[in-house]
Structure 1
Amino acid sequence: MTDALLDVRLDGAVAHLELMRSAKRNALNDALIDSLDTAFASLGDEIRAVVLCAAGPHFCAGLDLAENSRRAPVDVLRTSQRWHQVFHRIQFSSRPVVAVLQGAVIGGGLELALAAHVRIAANDTFFQLPEAQRGIFVGGGASVRVARVIGPDRMTEMMLTGRRYDAQDGHRLGLAHYLAEPDEGRRMAAELAARVAQNAPLSNWAAINAVPRIHDMSMSDGLFTESVTAALMQSGDDAKEGMHAFLNGERR
């Protein structure tokens, strides 16, 4: 699965995916999006969690403008929908994704980061949506994913002004869940990924797939869906084994 744009390394139940366009600040072009899609689609059942990281000083500077500056509207539409498809695969698979962020997390890079479920930001990380300054609009899901984290009002201001949030601000707002020293992010990500890989697969699937969908529902529908999901989960063998271990003072 490894290619020139994306390095894939397997370590037990955890897959480590590394963006390899450091000379371009890991900007996302069509080929890298295709590589991400192929990698996530190709992971075997033995892979229970993913670490997503990037080579060089920056996680991802967003859309590769050199490739996209002269596209016709219909081609921009298709590119946007392709990003939606791939980021949807990342977010709604059965595998938790832990992203390691550093340096620039800009535009499409922020959209990619927010498709992950756990985000670790190095202290030099900064977040930005500069699309308005470039005469374009977000197209990889930011109007949904970013707005849900920081709110549409704050996102609008972020886009209008080109405001840059540092790692501490991003952590406070929920763009990152953990802060780390630049050389500690990958170690922390590997530990977290190994931990969540030990969860029951169906529990991880439910956390990833049920919670965001319940968020879209009315309160009544959400509570009903929660009850159905809880009933499904608690009747499974993994739940029975986990509760038995807990009641008997065992560690899993």
Structure 2
Amino acid sequence: MREFNNLIYIVEDQVAVITINRPKFLNALNSEVLHELSEAIDEIEKDATIRAVVLTGAGEKAFVAGADISEMHQKNKPEGRDFSFYGNSIFSRLEKLQQPVIAAVNGFALGGGCELALACDIRIASNRAKFGQPEVGLGIMAGFGGSQRLPRLVGSGIAKGLLYTGDMVTAERAYEIGLVNLVVDPSEVLEEAMTMAKKIAAKSPIGVQYTKKAINEGLDMDIESAISLESDLFGSLFSTEDQKEGMSAFLEKRPPVFKGK
């Protein structure tokens, strides 16, 4: 299994688990962490057996407390743009993975950490987790997609309130506004994420992948184009072994065995 300096990467029951492992620094994102996250995504893209991904942070205090300010504070304008572009490119790769990605948010998800969670498909949070985009208090703004993904997820009004004030919200409030899917006790966060990931892994990989594609691409289209995309993807699935197996299993009253073909 691939080893990293700042990440723990394992594959269990067709689920890849990425743990950002800098608990001393509250798992803050620096260039090295981002580079290793990109390499972990490479590993997932090369492994056809992986059907879902779980992303979490080491320790009990933080998922990711933000980007590493000690690395950022001396950057000039071109360097700041390059850092934002680099982080955004990696988060976009995560968002566009064929497999669903579940964020298991075990503590602070602030700044780049909140943006990392936003790039995932689903967010399961500890009841002690806190979310926020505090960048305006540092004289900057969200730079890893927060100004774009947050409004798309919770609506522009709520997003603007969070982005303009830099306020943190509790896990319960994050659930109320649609930022997270589920809030559980701290001891259950990773377990719940793995349970959901394994449930997804048991379904048709192609069906799940096409569903993700339809949602992600359809959100940027007008409704007529999005419906046309859905119909095209739906039709394509009827040429797959998974469709034949899934429907045959249903009619034969047995569990399906999907091969992702």
TM band (smaller chain): over 0.9
Q: Does 1:37 align with 2:38?
A: yes
Deviation of the 1:12 alpha carbon: 2.9
Structure-1 separation of matches of 2:118 and 2:16 = 18
User: Aligned partners of 1:46, 1:219: CA distance in 2, in Å?
Assistant: 34
Structure 1 residue 173 corresponds to structure 2 residue 177: yes
- Which consecutive residues of structure 2, in runs of 5 or more, have no partner in the other structure? 257-261
1:121 aligned partner: 125
User: Is residue 54 of structure 1 aligned with residue 57 of structure 2?
Assistant: yes
Equivalent residue letter for 2:49: E
Match of 1:92 in 2: 96
Letter in 2 for 1:239: Q
Q: Secondary structure at the residue paired with 2:10?
A: strand
Deviations 1:219-245 (A, max 9, x none): 211111111111112332101211121
- Write the distance in 1 (CA, Å) between the matches of 2:178 and 2:239: 33
Answer whether contact 2:147 2:163 (CA < 8 A) is retained: no
Aligned partner of 1:238 among 238, 242, 247: 242
Residue pair 2:214, 2:226 contacting (<8 A) in 1 also: no
Which residues in structure 2 correspond to 1:99-248 (within 5 Å)? 99-248=103-252
**With structure 2 as the length reference, what TM-score do the two structures score?**
0.93
When normalised by structure 1's length, the TM-score is: 0.96
Q: What are the Cα deviations for residues 184-236 of structure 1, in whole angstroms up to 9, with x where unaligned?
A: 11111111111111222211211222212111111211111111111112332
Residue identity over aligned pairs, in percent, reads: 31
- What is the DSSP-based 3-state SS (H/G/I as helix, E as strand, rest coil) of the residue aligned with 2:62? coil
Q: Counterpart of 2:73? A: 69
Shift of 1:48: 1.5
Q: Deviations over 1:105-126 (max 9, x none)?
A: 1111011011111211000011
Structure 2 CA distance, aligned partners of 1:161 and 1:144? 16
Residues 91 and 208 of structure 1 are in contact (CA less than 8 Å); yes or no, is this contact kept in structure 2?
no
User: What residue identity is the alignment partner of 2:218?
Assistant: I
Structure 1 gaps of 5+ residues are: none
| Structure 1, 127-136 or 155-164: larger mean CA deviation | 155-164
Distance 1:69 1:247 in 2: 62
Q: Deviations over 1:8-55 (max 9, x none)?
A: 112131111111111111111000001110011112111221111111
| Aligned residues of 1:147 and 1:155 also touching (Cα < 8 A) | yes
SS of aligned partner of 1:139: coil
The Cα of 1:147 is off from its aligned counterpart by 1.1
Deviations 1:121-151 (A, max 9, x none): 0000111111111110111011121110111
Superimposed CA distance per residue, residues 171-191 of structure 1 (whole angstroms, 9 cap, x where no aligned partner): 121211111110011111111
Q: Helix, strand or coil for the counterpart of 1:183?
A: helix
Work out the number of aligned pairs and report it. Answer: 252
Is contact 1:93–1:208 with CA below 8 Å preserved after alignment? no
Distance 1:110 1:209 in 2: 23
Residue identity matched to 2:26: R
- The aligned residue for residue 16 of structure 2 is 15
Note the aligned Cα RMSD (angstroms): 1.2
User: Partner of 2:50: helix, strand, or coil?
Assistant: coil
Q: Give the C-alpha shift of residue 251 in structure 1.
A: 2.4
